[in-house]
Amino acid sequence: MIVTLIVLCEVGFWVLLAAGLALRYVAKKPRLGAAVLLCEPLLEVVLLVVTAIDLKNGAEPGLRHGLAAVYIGFTVGLGHSTVKWVDARVAHRFAGGPPPVKPPKYGMARAAHEWRTAARWIVAALTAAALLQAAVWYVGGDGDTGSLRMWQQKMLWLIGINLVIAAGYTLFPKQEPKDRVGAGR
């Protein structure tokens, strides 16, 4: 049931996003569109409550509970930036908005962009790890929490990978090609 609910939450996220943007740009009701977009976090609250009830009713902590925590963490860390990304493209395509800003390609500007991206992923992973730890404490010493600990290890790996990528762009910044000036002719 939890895996089905995770899938429904993901589908619900995109349905609410589409509905909110349609209200904002097609129906010209930006406040109503914003209100619909603000309903999205309710999906994660429902998932969190159902997961807690499942564990409280004696379910053995497993892959599905860890996946629920990771899904919620990723929504917290990446949901807002995803909504902004899609909103900028819909505004440009359907409402005459400016073209979406592309990330910088070179130098320290690119490194700063990579650190901001890493920060979002780290927030997602830390949120998931905190929820997983709360689930471990919630289950207590009587349950097998190995699968939840496994998810925590994966979140640590995710943090490490993002730090390595961002540090790589900082220590070895990509330089703009010298021949770029004449390449467009």
For the segment 30-56, what is each residue's pLDDT rounded down to a tens digit?
999 999 999 999 999 999 999 999 988
pLDDT tops 60 at residue 185: no
Q: What pLDDT does residue 166 have?
A: 98
Q: Which two tokens stand for residue 21?
A: 């943007």
Q: Is 82 left (phi over 0), alpha (psi -120 to 50) or beta?
A: alpha
**The pLDDT of residue 183:** 53
Q: Show the tokens assigned to 163.
A: 């730090």
Report the distance separating Cα 24 and Cα 31, nearest Å. 7
Q: Which residues fall within 8 angstroms of residue 51, CB to CB, at 6 or more apart?
A: 2, 65, 68, 69, 135
The radius of gyration of the chain from alpha carbons, rounded to an integer in Å, stands at 20
Pair of tokens at residue 13: 């996220």
Mean pLDDT over each residue of the chain, to the nearest integer: 92
pLDDT in tens, 121-134: 999 999 999 999 99
| 128-176 tens-digit pLDDT | 999 999 999 998 877 788 999 999 999 999 999 999 999 999 999 989 8
Q: What is the mean pLDDT of residues 77-98?
A: 94
Contact indicator for 136, 52 with CB cutoff of 8 Å = no
Compute the distance between CA of residue 173 and CA of residue 19 in angstroms, rounded to an integer: 40
Give the span between the Cα atoms of 173 and 126, in whole angstroms: 27
pTM above 0.75, yes or no: yes
pLDDT at 1: 85
